[in-house]
Structure 1
Amino acid sequence: MSLGDNQHDHDTPLTDRTPESQEYHDWASSVTPLGVESNVRSFDPYPFYVESAEGPYLYDRDDNEYIDFLLALGPIILGHNHPAVTERVQEQVEKATVTAMPQSVAIEFMDTVREMTPSIEMVRMANSGTEATMHALRVARSYTGREKIAKPEGGYAGAHDYALQSVYASEAALGPADEPNAVPYGTGIPDAISDLVVPFPFNDKAATERLLREEADDLAAVIIEPVMFSCGCLKPRDDYHEFLRELTDELGIVLIWDEVMTGFRLGPQSAQGRFGITPDMTTFAKAVGNGYQVAGFGGREDIMAEIIPPEKTEAEKWRTSAFHGGTYNGHPVAAAAGLATLEFIQDNDVYEHIDRLGDRLFTGLQEVADDVGVPVNVQHIGSMGQVYMTDHDIHRYRDTWHANEERFADWWKEGAARGALFGNPHQGERFFTSYSHTEADVDQALEIAEAAFREVDHEYE
């Protein structure tokens, strides 16, 4: 069913258009918690279930078509089932899958990552952004001999215990804005982990410097997204990254740029090329594989050498290095997908296209919201951005608290009911354009967005 066929359904609530998904969700919830594979995919009253995807479109169990700007939370940069990637994957599947012996396709992929990324002299593969940041932090602790890490308040850097600190919590729990507390995100995380994490306020130079200097003797690393897409879209201001690069250099702290979200999305050299900053280590995932489970971390050769076991004397035979391993690391199918993706973006006008459409989409969203009179602050850079349901300035994490989460979720559902996915219904997420989107897709999405803004403006009068 095309969007054109659905025009008469535009005023129909999403739940009325997805009865098969509702029935399926009832059954799926008996199989897996919340009926989904990852908590972020769950929303009220139930998620719809995708059956297929092609180019910039998703199709659900009820045969509804959606213009997809969620793009799998970022991995889809070329479009779903892009032939350049699919063909390479099919070729690799016929050769070999995992063997637990090194395969050349993985080495060639990593070499391409190294050639394209300014900060990476040596690199290893992983299977998810969570694994990439976990291993990068371990290597940094090994290199420095220190145990603590620092991360920005509101920043998400994966689902391991060290990263799940001060991601989301009440103001009372987080404490003062200029000296935030480390607060576990969710249960099941040992309290002792919080003692090893130093949160700091993004875009606040004075507070950041004071906190890092106070903890410098114990700090192994600062891990930070170059743009904080973990809470929508917080862009660096007033040369914040230049300041942080100089400060970590002075204090001997490993600076890790978490480019899981921005890597190969904001340009062929990722965000570090766009901003002209060279961190000590970099993590990457998502867009590098156009939908396949590709991830990794890399950095300076002397830091990455921590993974190499030392030559041992008899007295040192139990001494080890920073361990990095995993049966699926360097999976040849994932590596083939990554190599195909990187080769395609090097040979085509991918960034010109997705950035131009990103400007058209996000600028247009601000304009139609202003026309309707809904208080909205749209933030974006290149092909990535978010709509905050507030007209408050958005410079720091706590500014995002002014956004109306319920209104955003309602706007998202109205947009989905009309055939466009502006990310997912969580205000702290973000959405994207892809190489497969066209100007017509964006223009149609803006018409849908305007209708959805009008609906929520009426609901919240």
Structure 2
Amino acid sequence: MSQPDAEYDHAKRLRERTTRSQEFHDRAKAVTPLGVESNVRAFDPYPFYIEEAEGSYVTDMDGTEYLDFLLALGPIILGHSHPEVVEAVQEQAATCDLTATPQPIAFEYMEKVTEMTPSIEQVRLANSGSEATMHAIRVARSYTGNDIIAKPEGGYAGAHDYALQSVYASEEAMGPEDEPNTVSYGTGIPDAVSETVVAFPFNDKEATEKILRKHADDMAAVIIEPVMFSCGCLKPRDGYHEFLRELTEELGIVLIWDEVMTGFRLGPQSAQGRFDIMPDMTTFAKVAGGGYQMAGFGGKKEIMQEIAPPEKDEAHKWNTAAFHGGTYNGHPVSAAAGLKTLEILDERDVYEHIEEMGDRLFTGLQEVADDVGLDVNVQHIGSMGQVYMTDHDIHSYRDTWHSNEEQFADWWLEAAGRGVLFGNPMQGERFFTTYSTTEEQVDHALEVAEAAFRAVDHPY
């Protein structure tokens, strides 16, 4: 097998189709760092700027159309601008905007969340996955009286300081595989925060148990994705979640399932229904808003009641409870969009369709890569997965280090230049199918994927 030529421009086709975006990028960089609204949207040679989205497609400012499997990093499960969701949004926007007083639509939405999610007895709303995990961790600390939390290395649980620990780092910084160091991701995070977070290796029962038992007396919570989509797609193995549920119950540690990515994506009862595991707390976002800013956290009533101050301590009530607030919490427009989305998910054949399309797409990607002769390992569950540029087994975060990140980015650029977005160009991300995805679209995507695989294997 030939190796890609480092001088070959895999972005050439994309550059030719996005000249207006290239020019606009200079304007964007003048007003904001990197010329993007979020760091994850920046990539070389430059991001293209989207102006329209409908169904399975997005269109940039050059008029270039892309078959979209990025799907806004996961929220778009019914297809872009689903007409019933748009109608619900328009009706709510025309009826009542933000008031910062309770609005019935938010409670109707919360009732639907609790109806569909087995472990949630009470729930509160937020505006992003990061807010949801931040508040869930705070409530768990209040409930237990402990400060330390544990999370799997490689796991992204939001953009706040306590979550930006052991997300990405070098092997040297991470330290021993069976007892990893806690390493902050990015600058500006106090060392004192890192000292309250313990990392453990996903899918390693022995090491996980050793670490949790060591810190159990001071540990408030374990926060973990049921499927580690924060580093591509790492599926649980050998009863790992059953083991972790039993261990946290024994040790009195709150088990938080971070379902920001998997919530309402892996079934109407989310991943916990799929795996038949009942966490103590759950966080959700993305799909939950149907394309609008919606997130939340919930769980056992006795834990969620940490937010409510004791009535007897009226004089200092807010100092005797875990504070949760936010002007935009339960925004009526987002609640309307989320409620309509959840109703559709609960009543129609959405999961049957998106998982059929997911199997067709991800199985097909493995097949065409094998036909090309490229070392590729495609992992997926349901409607979401990732392509790893390696033939190495993928069970833990450190397994992903065997992937060729540059080759993945080149493959993505080749596919994007041909009009298909397989997520974004970062190996640690993932991509999805949606309700508007068709067999014809998947088959076309596989043709493009094969051409892109050949381009990175034999660039000339």
TM over 0.5: yes
2:103 alignment counterpart? 103
Q: Give the CA RMSD over aligned residues.
A: 1.3
Question: How far 1:80 sits from its partner (Å)?
Answer: 0.3
* 2:451 corresponding residue in structure 1: 451
Q: CA deviation at 1:168?
A: 0.1
Equivalent residues in 2 for 1:6-25, closer than 5 Å:
13-25=13-25
For 1:139 and 1:11, the matched residues in 2 are separated by 46
The verdict on how the C-alpha distance between 1:318 and 1:439 changes in structure 2, with shifts beyond 3 A counting, is closer
> Which residue does the alignment assign to 2:262?
262
1:251 matched residue in structure 2: 251
Partner of residue 121, structure 1: 121
Matches within 5 A, 1:85-164: 85-164=85-164
SS in 2 for 1:135: helix
2:348 alignment partner in structure 1: 348
CA deviations on 1:100-143 (whole Å, 9 max, x unpaired) are 10000000000000000001000001000000000000000000
Give 1:249 deviation, angstroms: 0.2
Per-residue CA deviations over 1:47-74 (Å, capped at 9, x if unaligned) read: 1110100000010111111000000000
Structure 1 counterpart of 2:7: none
CA distance in 1, matches of 2:218, 2:100: 37
- Residue in 2 aligned with 1:6? none
**Structure 1 residue 417: Cα displacement:** 0.4
Tell me, what secondary structure is at the counterpart of 2:311? coil
Q: Match for residue 435 of structure 2?
A: 435
Q: What is the TM-score when the length of structure 1 is the normalising length?
A: 0.96
1:234-245 residue pairs with structure 2 within 5 A?
A: 234-245=234-245
| 1:83 matches 2:83 | yes
Is 1:69 paired with 2:75?
A: no
Q: Deviations over 1:235-267 (max 9, x none)?
A: 000000000000000000000000000000000
Aligned to 2:6: none
SS in 1 for 2:322: coil
- Per the alignment, in what secondary structure is the counterpart of residue 151 of structure 1? strand
Return closer, same or farther for 1:67/1:181 CA change in 2, 3 Å cut-off: same
- What amino acid sits opposite 2:332 in the alignment? P
Contiguous gaps of at least 5 residues in structure 1: 1-9
Q: Does the CA contact (< 8 Å) of 1:224 and 1:256 recur in 2? A: yes
Equivalent position of 1:376 in the other structure: 376
The match for 2:296 is 296
Equivalents in 2 of 1:54, 1:448: separation in Å?
Answer: 21
Please tell me whether the aligned partners of residues 312 and 319 of structure 1 are also in contact (alpha carbons under 8 angstroms). Answer: no
Number of the residue aligned with 1:38: 38
The equivalent of 1:211 in structure 2 is 211
Q: TM-score, normalised by structure 2?
A: 0.97
**CA distance change for structure 1 residues 375 and 21 in 2, over 3 Å: closer, same or farther?**
same
Secondary structure of 1:374's counterpart equals: coil
- Where 1:413 maps in the other structure, the secondary structure is helix
Decide whether the 8 Å contact of 2:19 with 2:62 is kept in 1.
Answer: yes
* Structure 1 match to 2:5: none
Contact 2:28–2:35 (8 Å) recurs in 1:
yes
Structure 2 counterpart SS, 1:393: coil
Distance 1:11 1:121, change over 3 A: closer
Contact 1:11 1:418 in 2 (8 A): no
Identity of paired residues, percent?
76
Separation in structure 2 between the aligned mates of residue 127 and residue 97 of structure 1, nearest angstrom = 16
Q: Whole-Å Cα distance in 2 between the matches of residues 236 and 213 of structure 1?
A: 21
Counterparts of 1:168-179 in structure 2, within 5 Å, are: 168-179=168-179
Q: Structure 2: how far apart are the matches of 1:385 and 1:221?
A: 27
- 1:109 aligned counterpart, secondary structure: helix
**Partner SS, residue 30 of structure 2:** coil
Matches of 1:241 and 1:152, distance apart in 2: 13
Q: Kindly indicate whether the alpha-carbon contact (under 8 Å) linking 2:48 and 2:60 is maintained by their aligned counterparts in 1.
A: yes
Match runs of 1:154-233 below 5 Å:
154-233=154-233
Instruction: Determine whether 1:332 maps to 2:332.
Output: yes
Partners of 2:345 and 2:260 in 1: CA distance: 17
Q: Unmatched 5+ residue regions in structure 2?
A: 1-9
Indicate whether 1:359 and 2:352 are aligned: no
Contact 1:154-1:231 within 8 A present in 2 as well: yes
State the SS of the aligned residue for 1:312.
helix
Deviation, 1:312, is 3.0
Deviations 1:312-343 (A, max 9, x none): 34786674200000100010000000000011
1:407 aligns with 2:394: no
